[in-house]
């Protein structure tokens, strides 16, 4: 088992002994057997970030202390540069990097999770959680927040969540949230909460998968949501209502370090856009070469388009597309 897992187990055991907490109590909190929990303390089993989060909240200790053995220090904002967040390697499947490890008293714990390909068709251990899951997107274009896009995002969150044989009541609540620049649904509401209902009675069908649209064009400054939307669209820190956002804007606009970080991010975006453009150009060039080859073979060997494509070993599934371009 990885060294980081062993160290987490030691910290859990130390916390429990200092606070005089029975191992049975922690096992019950984590919804696992006592035997499994003791294996976690011994560094012989994966503790899971979700279980550590439950322990953190119940006993009032920062998640960072359990994961990394470090107390967070920042209270206004925290900056985590690419590749610099504290890491925990949970075996061969998942590698977690904390994106807010230095921020004290945070309400959520964002992680960058890396999953490397496994060899020889080996399957990943499924990583399940209880509670709630959120998918949040900020969309400037209405096309990016269409109804079927919301359905698609919701289905991705549910895919492969349950282990084989698990009860469906273990499926966590999942929220798809779109923050949109315009009123995508067109009913003049600042926020839309979409739930399935039973036709006729209007009873809510409690499948636990609400979809929420936040209409940022209605920046009503008399409500907390309206003030937040105002700040999302605002470019001047001094005009913002929320200190956290104002401090971030000031950092990126008025400090040398922040301006450097913004320039670095813009360079990365530019490089990525150029890379995608080159890939699209290469693909289009490949298609043009194939069309030229198909036409040459048809003319020189007096073959049909289908036979010419067979000569070029073009898959049957792609032949209709190429034939339409001849």
Q: What is the mean pLDDT of the chain?
A: 79
> So where are the chain's domains?
281-325
Greater confidence (89 vs 46) lies with 46
Q: Would the pLDDT of 108 be above 70?
A: yes
* DSSP reduced 3-state for 214: strand
In this predicted structure, what is the pLDDT of residue 191?
92
**Helix, strand or coil, per DSSP, at residue 91:** coil
166 and 200 Cβ atoms separated by less than 8 Å: no
Under 8 Å between Cβ of 23 and 16: yes
Q: Please write the tens of the pLDDT for every residue from 57-67.
A: 888 777 777 87
Residue bearing the bigger pLDDT, 108 or 192 = 192
Choose the most confident range, by mean pLDDT, from 47-51, 169-173, 236-240: 236-240
The winner for highest mean pLDDT among 77-91, 161-175, 237-251, 289-303 is 237-251
- Using pLDDT thresholds of 50, 70 and 90, give the confidence band for residue 143: confident
216-227: pLDDT as tens digits: 888 777 888 888
Structural tokens at position 26: 């922690």
Residues in the chain: 326
Are the C-beta atoms of residues 128 and 163 closer than 8 Å to each other? Answer: yes
Tens digit of pLDDT for each residue in 176-185?
Answer: 999 998 899 9
Residues of the chain above pLDDT 90, percent: 12
- The sheet with strand 211-215 has its strands ordered as 132-139, 173-180, 211-215, 191-194
CA distances from 136 to 156, 177, 213 (A): 13, 5, 10
Cβ atoms of residues 278 and 287 within 8 Å:
no
């Amino acid at each position: 088992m990885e060294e980081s897992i062993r160290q987490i187990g030691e910290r859990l055991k130390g916390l429990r002994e200092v606070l005089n907490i029975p191992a049975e109590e922690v096992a019950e909190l984590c919804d696992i057997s006592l035997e499994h929990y003791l294996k976690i303390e011994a560094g012989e089993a994966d503790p899971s970030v979700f279980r550590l989060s439950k322990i953190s909240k119940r006993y009032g200790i920062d998640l960072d202390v359990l994961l990394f053995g470090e107390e967070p220090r920042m209270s206004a904002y925290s900056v985590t540069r690419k590749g610099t967040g504290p890491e925990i390697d949970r075996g061969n499947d998942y590698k977690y990097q904390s994106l807010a490890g230095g921020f004290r008293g945070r309400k959520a714990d964002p992680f960058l999770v890396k999953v490397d390909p496994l060899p020889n068709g080996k399957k990943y251990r499924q990583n399940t959680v209880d509670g709630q899951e959120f998918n949040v997107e900020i969309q400037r274009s209405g096309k990016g927040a269409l109804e079927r896009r919301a359905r698609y995002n919701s289905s991705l969150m549910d895919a492969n969540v349950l282990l084989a044989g698990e009860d469906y009541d273990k499926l966590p609540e999942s929220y798809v949230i779109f923050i949109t620049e315009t009123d995508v649904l067109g009913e003049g509401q600042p926020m839309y909460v979409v739930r399935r209902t039973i036709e006729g009675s209007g009873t809510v069908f409690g499948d636990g998968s609400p979809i929420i649209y936040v209409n940022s064009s209605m920046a009503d400054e008399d409500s907390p949501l309206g003030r937040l939307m105002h700040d999302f669209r605002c470019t001047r820190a001094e005009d913002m209502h929320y200190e956290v956002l104002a401090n971030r804007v000031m950092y990126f606009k008025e400090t040398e370090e922040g301006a450097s970080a913004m320039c670095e991010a813009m360079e990365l975006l530019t490089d990525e856009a150029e890379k995608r453009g080159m890939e699209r150009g290469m693909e289009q060039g490949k298609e043009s070469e194939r069309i030229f080859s198909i036409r040459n073979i048809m003319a020189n060997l007096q073959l049909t388009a289908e036979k010419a494509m067979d000569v070029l070993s073009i898959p049957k599934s792609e032949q209709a597309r190429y034939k339409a371009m001849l």
